[in-house]
Amino acid sequence: MDTQAVTKEMMGTFPLLFKLVFQPCGCDTPLPTTQMQALLLLSLQGPMNMTQLASRLMISKQQLTKIAEALVEKELIERVGHTANRRVIFLSLTAQGHHFLQHQLDQKAASLSAFLALLSEEEQKTILEAFQILQSTLKRMNTTTEF
Protein backbone atom coordinates (compact mmCIF):
# COMPACT_ATOMS: atom_id res chain seq x y z
CA MET A 1 0.00 0.00 0.00
CA ASP A 2 1.27 3.45 -0.89
CA THR A 3 1.19 5.31 2.45
CA GLN A 4 1.86 8.61 0.72
CA ALA A 5 -1.33 8.19 -1.34
CA VAL A 6 -3.30 7.38 1.83
CA THR A 7 -1.79 10.40 3.56
CA LYS A 8 -2.70 12.64 0.63
CA GLU A 9 -6.31 11.39 0.67
CA MET A 10 -6.57 11.94 4.44
CA MET A 11 -5.10 15.43 4.18
CA GLY A 12 -7.62 16.28 1.46
CA THR A 13 -10.56 14.79 3.34
CA PHE A 14 -10.05 16.33 6.78
CA PRO A 15 -10.61 19.96 5.68
CA LEU A 16 -13.85 18.88 4.00
CA LEU A 17 -14.99 17.10 7.17
CA PHE A 18 -13.99 20.08 9.26
CA LYS A 19 -16.02 22.40 7.06
CA LEU A 20 -19.00 20.05 7.12
CA VAL A 21 -19.01 19.84 10.92
CA PHE A 22 -17.81 23.24 12.09
CA GLN A 23 -18.77 25.78 9.47
CA PRO A 24 -22.10 27.56 9.82
CA CYS A 25 -24.95 25.66 8.23
CA GLY A 26 -27.37 28.48 7.71
CA CYS A 27 -28.51 27.93 11.27
CA ASP A 28 -28.21 30.52 14.00
CA THR A 29 -24.52 30.05 14.87
CA PRO A 30 -23.48 33.44 16.20
CA LEU A 31 -19.98 32.28 17.22
CA PRO A 32 -16.79 31.99 15.19
CA THR A 33 -15.54 28.47 14.50
CA THR A 34 -12.74 28.53 17.10
CA GLN A 35 -15.15 29.58 19.85
CA MET A 36 -17.46 26.70 18.89
CA GLN A 37 -14.52 24.31 18.97
CA ALA A 38 -13.56 25.55 22.44
CA LEU A 39 -17.10 24.94 23.69
CA LEU A 40 -17.14 21.48 22.16
CA LEU A 41 -13.80 20.53 23.70
CA LEU A 42 -14.87 21.75 27.13
CA SER A 43 -18.09 19.79 26.78
CA LEU A 44 -16.34 16.58 25.74
CA GLN A 45 -13.28 16.73 27.99
CA GLY A 46 -14.45 18.79 30.96
CA PRO A 47 -12.78 21.80 32.55
CA MET A 48 -9.28 22.66 31.32
CA ASN A 49 -6.73 25.30 32.10
CA MET A 50 -5.71 27.78 29.42
CA THR A 51 -2.57 25.87 28.43
CA GLN A 52 -4.45 22.60 27.96
CA LEU A 53 -7.25 24.16 25.92
CA ALA A 54 -4.89 26.22 23.75
CA SER A 55 -2.86 23.09 23.04
CA ARG A 56 -5.92 21.07 22.06
CA LEU A 57 -7.15 23.89 19.82
CA MET A 58 -3.62 24.28 18.41
CA ILE A 59 -3.57 28.01 19.04
CA SER A 60 -1.46 30.27 21.25
CA LYS A 61 -2.48 31.16 24.78
CA GLN A 62 -2.74 34.78 23.62
CA GLN A 63 -5.31 33.79 20.98
CA LEU A 64 -7.19 31.71 23.53
CA THR A 65 -7.30 34.63 25.96
CA LYS A 66 -9.39 36.63 23.48
CA ILE A 67 -11.62 33.64 22.72
CA ALA A 68 -12.13 32.84 26.41
CA GLU A 69 -12.91 36.46 27.23
CA ALA A 70 -15.58 36.58 24.53
CA LEU A 71 -17.13 33.33 25.79
CA VAL A 72 -17.07 34.54 29.40
CA GLU A 73 -18.79 37.79 28.37
CA LYS A 74 -21.50 35.72 26.65
CA GLU A 75 -21.79 33.63 29.86
CA LEU A 76 -21.07 30.42 27.95
CA ILE A 77 -17.97 29.56 29.97
CA GLU A 78 -16.67 30.55 33.37
CA ARG A 79 -13.34 30.67 35.10
CA VAL A 80 -13.17 28.32 38.06
CA GLY A 81 -10.39 28.20 40.62
CA HIS A 82 -8.65 24.92 41.40
CA THR A 83 -9.62 23.62 44.83
CA ALA A 84 -6.04 22.77 45.89
CA ASN A 85 -4.14 25.55 44.12
CA ARG A 86 -5.90 28.90 43.85
CA ARG A 87 -3.40 30.14 41.25
CA VAL A 88 -4.64 27.55 38.75
CA ILE A 89 -7.73 28.65 36.83
CA PHE A 90 -9.87 26.30 34.79
CA LEU A 91 -12.31 27.15 32.01
CA SER A 92 -15.62 25.36 32.29
CA LEU A 93 -18.93 25.43 30.45
CA THR A 94 -21.78 27.15 32.24
CA ALA A 95 -25.29 25.69 32.22
CA GLN A 96 -26.10 28.28 29.55
CA GLY A 97 -23.02 27.14 27.60
CA HIS A 98 -24.19 23.50 27.72
CA HIS A 99 -27.65 24.50 26.53
CA PHE A 100 -26.27 26.73 23.75
CA LEU A 101 -23.86 24.06 22.51
CA GLN A 102 -26.53 21.36 22.51
CA HIS A 103 -28.83 23.62 20.51
CA GLN A 104 -26.07 24.26 17.97
CA LEU A 105 -25.23 20.55 17.69
CA ASP A 106 -28.91 19.71 17.21
CA GLN A 107 -29.13 22.26 14.39
CA LYS A 108 -25.97 20.90 12.76
CA ALA A 109 -27.27 17.31 13.08
CA ALA A 110 -30.56 18.33 11.44
CA SER A 111 -28.65 20.01 8.61
CA LEU A 112 -26.44 16.94 8.08
CA SER A 113 -29.46 14.64 8.21
CA ALA A 114 -31.20 16.69 5.53
CA PHE A 115 -28.10 16.44 3.36
CA LEU A 116 -27.82 12.67 3.89
CA ALA A 117 -31.50 12.22 3.07
CA LEU A 118 -30.66 13.35 -0.47
CA LEU A 119 -28.38 10.35 -0.90
CA SER A 120 -29.46 6.85 -1.84
CA GLU A 121 -29.73 4.20 0.85
CA GLU A 122 -26.65 2.51 -0.58
CA GLU A 123 -24.65 5.77 -0.43
CA GLN A 124 -25.77 6.33 3.17
CA LYS A 125 -24.73 2.78 4.08
CA THR A 126 -21.32 3.29 2.43
CA ILE A 127 -20.76 6.57 4.29
CA LEU A 128 -21.77 4.98 7.60
CA GLU A 129 -19.39 2.06 7.10
CA ALA A 130 -16.57 4.39 6.05
CA PHE A 131 -17.00 6.56 9.14
CA GLN A 132 -17.15 3.52 11.42
CA ILE A 133 -13.89 2.24 9.97
CA LEU A 134 -12.28 5.69 10.12
CA GLN A 135 -13.34 6.24 13.72
CA SER A 136 -12.10 2.81 14.80
CA THR A 137 -8.78 3.33 13.04
CA LEU A 138 -8.28 6.83 14.44
CA LYS A 139 -9.03 5.61 17.97
CA ARG A 140 -6.42 2.87 17.54
CA MET A 141 -3.91 5.37 16.15
CA ASN A 142 -4.60 7.79 18.99
CA THR A 143 -3.84 5.19 21.66
CA THR A 144 -0.77 3.70 19.99
CA THR A 145 0.92 6.66 18.30
CA GLU A 146 2.27 9.92 19.62
CA PHE A 147 2.11 12.59 16.91
CA atoms within a 13 Å half-sphere pointing along the CA-CB vector of 86 = 0
The answer to whether residue 20 sits within a structural domain is no
pLDDT tens-digit profile of 100-129? 999 988 888 888 898 899 999 999 999 999
The answer to whether residue 140 sits within a structural domain is no
The answer to whether residue 12 sits within a structural domain is no
pLDDT tens-digit profile of 61-77? 999 999 999 999 999 99
The answer to whether residue 22 sits within a structural domain is no
Please tell me the pTM assigned to this model: 0.76
8 A C-beta contact, residue 117 and residue 125: no
The answer to whether residue 136 sits within a structural domain is no
The answer to whether residue 91 sits within a structural domain is yes
Structural domains of the chain, count: 1
Q: What angle do CA 86, 87, 92 make, to 5 degrees?
A: 75
The answer to whether residue 96 sits within a structural domain is yes
Q: Write out the residue range of the structural domain in which residue 36 sits.
A: 28-118
Dist. CA 19–CA 39, nearest whole Å? 17
Rounding to the nearest 10 degrees, give the CA dihedral for residues 116, 7, 15, 44: 80
Angle between helices 33-45 and 95-117 (to 10 degrees): 110
Dist. CA 121–CA 124, nearest whole Å? 5
Percentage of residues in the chain with pLDDT exceeding 70?
92
Say which CATH number the domain at 106 has.
1.10.10.10
8 A C-beta contact, residue 42 and residue 52: no
The answer to whether residue 137 sits within a structural domain is no
